[in-house]
């Protein structure tokens, strides 16, 4: 048991998207689609991820997001089976997405259609709420994110429900855009990394998974750092580009890491704590503490123990050892010892901190 790893990176498959009238459906070219709901958690699979986008979105948004997802898979390995839903703004298109999703659940998981539809319409993490949030975000010109639904372990899938990736379509961005197409692609990498984290804890029992799961700073920090670093590289080597409708504009790994450093320092000064206090509801519960300082914690650890230490060493043993044990096994210190060491690093001058980042 434990997370299975591929032999190495593969060539990214091409995104193949089809306009189905009321929604857009994408798979990877030449990849088979899973039949039924086999339990393949933790295994490297051959099946294509499936992306379904609301019908009111330009098909190029779906193509770009799918391209990013297939690229992430080619770098980190293919886990799933994976379903990635991207919501839009239009209500009828939102309903068509709910219908697709629930027919899928009836077919593959034997769910009752009416129960599924009701849940997707009313639940805080459902598809309708994600659509509604897009509507609100459009008015306030802020950015939306995506979530991996941890409950979908029971469905034997990795399921993502995403807000509109505004950056992939410039027409949604105002005169002073707060996001770019590259930022939206980074979000897809971030979410997919969560998919791998989830694949590493295969127990069907939620409490058993929770007891082995890392704290928020580690989960978010590793997803964010790995996504920032990998999309930085993929842009540099020309694999990650934008279509003509993508929101151009700068997106720079070092710039963001500097922002994360400065703003998380501000947060810690204000809350009087450190990354250990950045969980939900804790005294330093905020984005920059969990994601920003978390990303720096991973930058620090991977600088010392290698970039492969997460995917090749820690996640493959987390099921067996739990987070604390897997951390000790990988980084040769306890989490508590790390907090002390990392707090010392956080007190260094910024130039010394920035110097540990890969170019």
Q: Which residues bind Zn ion (CB under 5 A)?
A: 220, 223
CB of 274 or CB of 291, closer to Zn ion: 291
Interhelix angle for 315-331 vs 335-346, to 10°? 70
CB of 216 to Zn ion, least distance (A): 9
CB of 215 to Zn ion, least distance (A): 13
Place of tokens 């899938």: 157
Rounded to an integer, what distance in angstroms lies between the CA atom of residue 311 and that of residue 141? 36
CB atoms within 10 A of CB 342: 18
275 Cβ contact list (under 8 Å, min separation 6): 217, 221, 284, 289, 290, 293, 294, 297, 339, 342
CB of 290 or CB of 326, closer to Zn ion: 290
CB of 197 to Zn ion, least distance (A): 9
Contact in structure between 27 and 50 (CB atoms under 8 Å): yes
CB of 220 or CB of 319, closer to Zn ion: 220
CB of 166 to Zn ion, least distance (A): 17
If you count them, how many residues does the chain have? Answer: 359
Look up residue 90 and give its two tokens.
Answer: 């239009």
CB of 82 or CB of 223, closer to Zn ion: 223
What is the sign, positive or negative, of the torsion defined by CA atoms of 172, 70, 298, 1? Answer: positive
CB of 51 to Zn ion, least distance (A): 18
CB of 286 to Zn ion, least distance (A): 14
Looking at the DSSP bridge assignments, the partners of residue 23 are 54
φ and ψ at 157, to 5 degrees?
Answer: -130, 165
Interhelix angle for 113-122 vs 127-140, to 10°? 20
Contact in structure between 203 and 181 (CB atoms under 8 Å): no
* CA atoms lying within 13 Å on the CB side of residue 183: 21
Rounded to an integer, what distance in angstroms lies between the CA atom of residue 350 and that of residue 257? 11
CB of 192 to Zn ion, least distance (A): 10
What is the sign, positive or negative, of the torsion defined by CA atoms of 23, 29, 30, 36? Answer: negative
CB of 94 or CB of 167, closer to Zn ion: 167
CB of 193 or CB of 253, closer to Zn ion: 193
Look up residue 295 and give its two tokens.
Answer: 């990303």
CB of 46 to Zn ion, least distance (A): 26
CB of 108 or CB of 216, closer to Zn ion: 216
CB of 197 or CB of 202, closer to Zn ion: 197
């Amino acid at each position: 048991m434990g997370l299975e790893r591929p032999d190495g990176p593969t060539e990214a498959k091409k995104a193949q998207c089809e306009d189905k009238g009321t929604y857009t459906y994408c798979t990877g070219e030449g990849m088979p689609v899973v039949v039924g709901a086999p339990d393949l958690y933790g295994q490297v699979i051959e099946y294509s991820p499936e992306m379904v986008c609301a019908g009111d979105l330009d098909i190029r948004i779906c193509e770009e997001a799918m391209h990013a997802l297939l690229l992430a898979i080619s770098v980190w390995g293919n886990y799933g089976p994976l379903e990635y839903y991207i919501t839009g703004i239009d209500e009828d298109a939102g309903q068509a997405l709910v219908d697709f999703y629930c027919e899928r659940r009836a077919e593959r998981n034997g769910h009752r259609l009416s129960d599924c539809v009701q849940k997707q319409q009313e639940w805080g993490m459902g598809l309708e709420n994600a659509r509604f949030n897009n509507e609100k975000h459009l008015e306030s010109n802020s950015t939306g994110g995506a979530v991996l639904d941890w409950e979908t372990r029971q469905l034997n899938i990795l399921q993502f429900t995403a807000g509109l990736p505004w950056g992939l379509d410039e027409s949604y961005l105002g005169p002073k855009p707060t996001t770019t197409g590259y930022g939206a692609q980074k979000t897809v990498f971030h979410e997919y990394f969560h998919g791998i984290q989830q694949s590493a804890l295969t127990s069907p029992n939620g409490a058993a998974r929770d007891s082995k799961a890392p704290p928020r700073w580690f989960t978010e920090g590793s997803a964010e750092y790995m996504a920032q670093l990998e999309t930085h590289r993929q842009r540099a080597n020309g694999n990650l580009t934008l279509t003509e409708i993508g929101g151009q504009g700068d997106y720079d790994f070092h710039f963001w890491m500097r922002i994360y450093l400065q703003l998380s320092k501000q947060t810690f000064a204000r809350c009087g704590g450190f990354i250990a206090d950045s969980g939900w509801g804790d005294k330093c519960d905020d984005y920059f503490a969990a994601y920003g300082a978390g990303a720096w914690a991973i930058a620090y650890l991977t600088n010392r123990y290698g970039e492969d230490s997460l995917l090749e060493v820690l996640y493959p043993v987390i099921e067996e050892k739990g987070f604390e044990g897997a951390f000790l096994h990988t980084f040769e210190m306890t989490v508590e010892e790390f907090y002390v060491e990392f707090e010392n690093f956080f007190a260094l001058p910024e130039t010394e901190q920035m110097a540990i980042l890969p170019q």
